[in-house]
Chains A and B, each alone.
Chain A
């Protein structure tokens, strides 16, 4: 399906795509500018898109600006990956009620509206596929994730512009969406190239009866995406030495060095498209007759996360940073068969003090090579 010839959707014809999505009963959620950052929100039409806006990102800094361009998807991304829609920050799981001596447990299953998610970047599509491995594979699929995931139609946008914290090219996840999307768009000045990635996507696009793109057009698309990859200034070049390489530097002094900067504030894990740590809290009422059990985003940087039997076995920031990086880049591979990093760069941008994951890995692994050399 993904090998099918892409089609040309003029920007002037974009409302027809929106109509087709509506005809399939999707609400449309897309990128929206609010309070100086990009967010996912329901859009009424093209006019809600951040047309002409661009982002600049570097470690610890994010700024949006309006430009002279008329690019629709000029902002690469905001703090939120699409996990906000599938692995939601606060998921009520069940309620427990006690009347007389009878205890009733009622699951609280979400009933999400079918949602077409417009403008998903390749890194976020890759992140979604990582979450699918975590939540849906094996003996115990997560029903809450499952119903939210099933309600999604993913319309990716291939990147033709990278910022300083992007490194998807080195992770093999972008700038072109690889798989896991229903439709993928590449933006040109006056039109989009549309690729079909699933049967659901094909059903939508067939309604529009679009012309196919010429081979020259397709080459031009590839050149733009390749240029985006080439413009990326960061990468995880040590990827091929993982997971083992990181296990060998467990006692490296660099963990203490980075702990002097790390705030253990958990921002990196909140913005990460793949971090899935959560806590389950009981919220009882004062009379102890009704209890709501909720799942909340948690992080390996919180004090509760390492708490076992009243004692924290990861008390220091160095312990926690090592836990996070080693899991993300190394033991994740053992656990789920894929890296926990998709190269979106959010953990660099949204770290309040701008800690750079790629730089930390270089430091840990480079010095390890030096040590190993006689």
Chain B
């Protein structure tokens, strides 16, 4: 990770690193996580100069930026150009949230016919400038660090900012949600209730909120160990979905939906949903 220690040009006097918060196709919830750091917000303001953050202030200044937090997926033709420009201006670029990191819920259209969506939603579809797919930031520019979740966790955001300011590689664990459930003493909803919980294949970060409330995890922090694991490396989505199928009697279409959610476009979840979609077609053919 590049250090962001900065000084005022021509002097040794330190200046605060400049922060930009930008968004593409998204709901703004991850940016709000930054504003929701109520107890720490003044410290964030002391540590960083908020230079560009339309969600928070109409005073928007240009780059270069020391840190850019990027929310949202690339969904419109101008997004890609804007993103390329932002990348040039940003020393450290960090994606925040499932849209920027995985393509988001709007990536469901990657499996659908965009034109039919446009016609169904808009009275004049011709006005809609939209790419056929919604894709994560990392498919377009190099990304220095990715924050997962829908929305992101504010403590994780704070940790990453703290580490970047110190000039060290940000530290975030990449284990399963299960570890958090067990540390916190939540009874396992999969084993004790028979719910199709995605916790075993989902990345930590949320604090195990859903299982803590007796609900099954739906994978909003994405696949454990990231988007591109090698062969034999977690997440083992095939084993978990086989268990849901054989023991909990989920049918293929339910398994497709289980994995095709907020992070459904990321390879491990995408491939799992494809596997059950084709098995669904096979069973249709048998009938």
Residues of A at the B interface (CB closer than 8 Å) are: 34-37, 39, 60-64, 78-80, 84, 89-90, 259-267, 270-271, 281, 283-288, 296-299, 301-304, 315-318, 349-354
B200 A63 Cβ-Cβ under 8 A: no
Residue-wise interface mask of B (211-244) relative to A, using a CB-CB cutoff of 8 A (1 in contact, 0 not): 0001000000000110000111111101110110
Contact (Cβ within 8 A) A264 B176: yes
Q: Tell whether, in the assembled complex, residue A286 and residue B175 are in contact, meaning their CB atoms are under 8 Å apart.
A: no
Interchain CA distance A62-B190 in the complex, whole Å: 9
- A89, closest chain B residue (CB): B183
Closest A residue to B229 by CB, please name it. A315
State the CA gap A14–B236 with chains docked (Å). 49
Bound together, the chains give a CA A23 to CA B78 distance in angstroms of: 75
B177 nearest CB across to chain A (Å): 8
CA distance A259 to B238 in the complex (A): 11
B191 interfacial by beta-carbon distance below 8 Å? yes
Complex: chain A residue closest to B161, CB-CB: A286
Q: Which residue of B lies closest to A299 (CB)?
A: B179
Does B239 contact A260, Cβ atoms closer than 8 Å?
Answer: yes
Pairs A–B under 8 Å by Cβ, sample size 19: A35-B214, A89-B184, A259-B232, A264-B176, A264-B224, A265-B178, A265-B200, A266-B176, A266-B178, A284-B162, A301-B175, A302-B174, A315-B233, A317-B233, A317-B236, A352-B178, A352-B240, A352-B243, A353-B240
Contact in complex: A270, B187 (CB < 8 Å): no
Query: Taking each of B166, B183, B242, which has the highest tally of chain A beta carbons within 10 Å of its own beta carbon?
Result: B183
| B159, B225, B230, B232, most chain A CB atoms within 10 A | B232
Residues from chain B with a CB closer than 8 A to the CB of A265 are 176, 178-179, 199-201, 224, 234
Chain B contacts for A36, CB-based, 8 A: 187, 192-193
**Chain A residue at minimal CB-CB distance from B213:** A35
Q: A263-B200, A265-B199, A265-B200 are in contact. Are A350 and B188 (CB under 8 A)?
A: yes
Nearest-CB residue, chain B, relative to A266: B179
- Taking CB atoms, residues of chain A closer than 8 Å to B171 are 281
Q: Given known contacts A263-B176, A263-B201, A286-B44, is B188 in contact with A34 (CB within 8 Å)?
A: no
Which residue from chain A places its CB closest to the CB of B190 in the assembled complex?
A352
Within B151-197, the residues touching A (CB, 8 Å) are 158-159, 161-162, 165-166, 171, 173-176, 178-179, 182-188, 190-194, 197
Taking CB atoms, residues of chain B closer than 8 Å to A60 are: 191, 243, 247
